[in-house]
Structure formats: C-alpha cells, structure tokens
Amino acid sequence: MITYVPAKLLKHIRKPGSPIATLVYEALTTRFFTSLPGHFCMLYVPGYEAIPLSIAYQEDAYYYFIVKKRGPTTSKLVENPPRYVGLIGPAGSPILMPSAEERVLLLGGGVGVAPLIYFASRIACYVKNVTLAYGVQSSNELVELDRIFNIDRFNNTEI
C-alpha cells in the first residue's frame, strides 16, 4: 500500500567536493511504510519536483538514501538538504531472496549500489557468502559503505 510519510533530516554525509551525499530521514509519523530491498519511493522536496530514489537501507522509521547531483532537486539534496521532506512509497518490485546455500555476488555502479546495500543487509544473516562490489567514475564519488552503513555487522559480507 502506497503511503505518504512526512520526514525530518537526521544526517547529511558528504565528502568535500563530492557530487554524492548520503541522507538519513526519520518518519514523523507512526504510520510509516516498510520497504523491502529493491523498493524505491518518491521523495518530495518543497519547492522542487518529487523524484524517485532507491532506498539504500531502512531501519524502522529511518530511511537511508544515496543521492548524486544531477538536476535542481538532487543538487538541493546533495548541497543543502531540506530539514523536512515527503516520502511516498513503497514503489517498485522487491528483489527475490536467495536460498541459504547460495553464494551471492552483487555488482553495482555509482549510486546504483543503493538497493544492493539494503539487499546485502537482509540476506547476510542467512546466506553463506555475500560479496558486494561496486565501481565509480572517480574516487570523490566513493560512498564509505562500511562507515555509513556499518557493513561489518552483516555476517559473511565482503566489500
């Protein structure tokens, strides 16, 4: 069921000069939506257009997004994110979960790694071996996955 959720900015993580930021928003209502890996939502920035963003991680009422500067809305989010936004979701189709015996290799590029982070976090507790590999155009686009998402807490996951 698609739900509208008002949310407040908790964290804005960006290396100096990087066109990429990680944002963490907290739902301001107890009726927040629960997403699965592969889902996205429409993020509404007041005064700008709503844009689709993959959910990089969700823990209860906390939503994590990885955003790259491309147009007016993403530039606003990366450079000076608004304190309050609207989230509309979940949308899209979730990624199918593998069996426990499978070895999983996840490949992503740039901000396209976002849904793979969430997926890795969900399967690492039961899949024997998970490897996440991702590439970027330049080093200033690297997202510190292990620091931001605490990847080392995911059992059997390697970056």
**Domain containing residue 140: CATH number:** 3.40.50.80
Tell me the average pLDDT across 76-86. 98
Asked if residue 3 lies in contact with residue 57, where contact means CB atoms within 8 angstroms, the answer is no
Same domain, 85 and 134: no
Nearest alpha carbon to residue 54 among 125, 128, 95, 114: 114
Instruction: Beginning with the edge strand found earlier in the chain, give each strand of the sheet holding 103-109 in spatial order.
Output: 103-109, 129-135, 157-158
Same domain, 87 and 107: no
Over the stretch 52-67, which tens digit does the pLDDT of each residue have? Answer: 999 999 999 999 999 9
Residue 126 has pLDDT above 80, yes or no: yes
Asked if residue 130 lies in contact with residue 143, where contact means CB atoms within 8 angstroms, the answer is no
Residue 159 has pLDDT above 60, yes or no: no
Indicate whether 97 belongs to any domain.
Answer: no
Give me the domain span that covers residue 50. Answer: 3-91
Same domain, 18 and 85: yes
pLDDT category at 8 given cuts 50, 70, 90 is very high
Task: Please tell me which residue, 134 or 27, carries the higher pLDDT value.
Answer: 27
Same domain, 64 and 132: no
Indicate whether 98 belongs to any domain.
Answer: no
* pTM (two decimals): 0.89
Calculate what percentage of the chain has a pLDDT beyond 70. Answer: 90
